[in-house]
Structure 1
Amino acid sequence: MILIKKFPAPSDLETLKKEAEEQGLSDKDGYAKLRNPLKTQVRNLLMQEQGHLCAYCMRRIPDIRILEEDVDLSDVYIEHWQARSAVGDTTENKGLDYRNMLAVCSGNEKAPEANGKHKRRFLTCDKKRENAPLKINPLDEETLETIYYLTDGTMKSTDVVIDEDINIRLNLNCDTDAVTLLKNRKAVLDMIQEDLANQEGDFQQNCIEQLHIWENEADPKTPYIGIAIWWLKKQIHLLNAD
């Protein structure tokens, strides 16, 4: 997971939010008024600011696992970090608040095992979370700084609640042949370690230069980039402490 820096909200979305608030609509009813072409514009803007990566698992979006014939699924979803409420609120409409919106993948809906009574075991991201509150927030650097990784690609946190967000509410360590999140993260870690092993010169300076490149990578970003940024920061910190 990486820090997402929000773009300015589309003016038409802000107008729609204001109208929903003036009408006293609930988050659910207000969000129902977000239709195309504005909805597509919002979705594309979210993907652009995220480097076309899922806000939670860092998979590439649009999700290529979703095919044209999957009419009930979308290759990218608009997620609300603070879940929408069905209760009317004339002062806040979180469903149309651009600061509350993220772009996410299909949540592994296409996994062969994701069916029947065991389906939820294989779901990830917002499909697993549904409306459960989260402490981890891709817009809040402080919560992301608690994240670390194991050499096999497992994502963890020093914060107990955030660790539960990762493992239970978002299921980001789901490890099956259909999901492969750990395998994909490990591949990125192996790649950056191999690249640095083959570079000449000062190791610490090479890490600093690589970190600058990865943190400033343009859209589209490398999937699962978060583990590379974390590892580089860790190496720099350890070398500075020596």
Structure 2
Amino acid sequence: MKHIIKDVEPDVLTGYKLNSTNPSYINFCKKSQRKLNLNDALLDEQGYLCCYCMGEINSENMQIEHWKPQSKYPKLDLDYNNLFACCEGNKHNPKRKKGSENIHCDSKKSSLELTINPLNKDCETETSYFGDGTINAKNSVYNKDINDYLNLNYENLKRNRKSAWIKVLSNLTKNRVKNNEINKLINVFSEKNKDGKYHPYCQIIVFFLKKRQVAGT
């Protein structure tokens, strides 16, 4: 997962809450343009990555995730710090085999409550990766979120993460990148590009680049 730093709440959401006698997420979304504006704000904030799996998303294949579920925390349904852009979790894939083991992220989580939070830096510092793309946490509670609630070790996600790292690793080997140049690459994959986007699955790349950097010192 990647740590998300919240921007200022977008005007479209602030204005709606100030000018509504009984504001609610459902009523907010009744005007499609308001919803699109909120989508755009979340996408820009997150660099067009899903808040959980780090897969690339856009305005057409994203959904808004309530970290604290609406069913249990209705008063937080318009709290901007509770709102994230999330992928569809494979649920609309026509080739997907039926079963909850083949969906992930919010589609898997549904109304379950998480402990691991993209707003906390430890979603990065407490997690690590293996060569096959597996994500693992240092504590059992986070691992339950990762595996049981979000299904982030779904085979397709593992394969995608592994592929993202292998491409970078191949370039490192091919171009004989020296250790003192790895820090530049870490910065590249830690920051948004000129289009305001992060590289998909960037954290697994940063994780292994840092390991190579330490090993080479």
Q: Does the 8 Å contact 1:136/1:144 carry over to 2?
A: no
Q: Tell me the number of residue pairs that the alignment of Structure 1 and Structure 2 aligns.
A: 212
Q: Residues 1-150 of structure 1 correspond to what in structure 2 (within 5 A)?
A: 1-18=1-18, 23=22, 30-35=24-29, 36-62=32-58, 75-85=61-71, 93-111=75-93, 112-115=95-98, 119-150=99-130
Q: Does the 8 Å contact 1:16/1:96 carry over to 2?
A: no
Q: Give the drift of 1:14.
A: 1.9
1:180-234 per-residue CA deviation (whole Å, 9 max, x = no partner) reads 211111111112222222344641x122111011111322222111100111223
Are residues 81 and 237 of structure 1, via their aligned partners in 2, closer, same or farther at CA, if it must alter by over 3 Å? farther
Q: Aligned letter for 1:32?
A: I
> Unpaired runs of 5+ in structure 2?
none
SS of 1:148's equivalent in the other structure is strand
SS of 1:195's equivalent in the other structure is helix
Q: CA RMSD in A?
A: 2.2
- Scaled by the length of structure 1, the TM-score of the pair is 0.79
Give 1 or 2 for the bigger CA radius of gyration: 1
Q: Give the drift of 1:98.
A: 1.3
Match of 1:213 among 188, 192, 196: 188
1:166 matched residue in structure 2: 146
> Unpaired runs of 5+ in structure 1?
64-73
Q: Does the 8 Å contact 2:106/2:150 carry over to 1?
A: yes
Q: Does the 8 Å contact 1:124/1:174 carry over to 2?
A: yes
Q: Give the drift of 1:61.
A: 0.9
- Scaled by the length of structure 2, the TM-score of the pair is 0.88
Are residues 201 and 154 of structure 1, via their aligned partners in 2, closer, same or farther at CA, if it must alter by over 3 Å? closer
Q: Does the 8 Å contact 2:12/2:38 carry over to 1?
A: no
> Equivalent pairs: percent with the same residue?
29
Q: Give the drift of 1:87.
A: 6.6
Cα distance in 2 for partners of 1:100, 1:59 equals 20
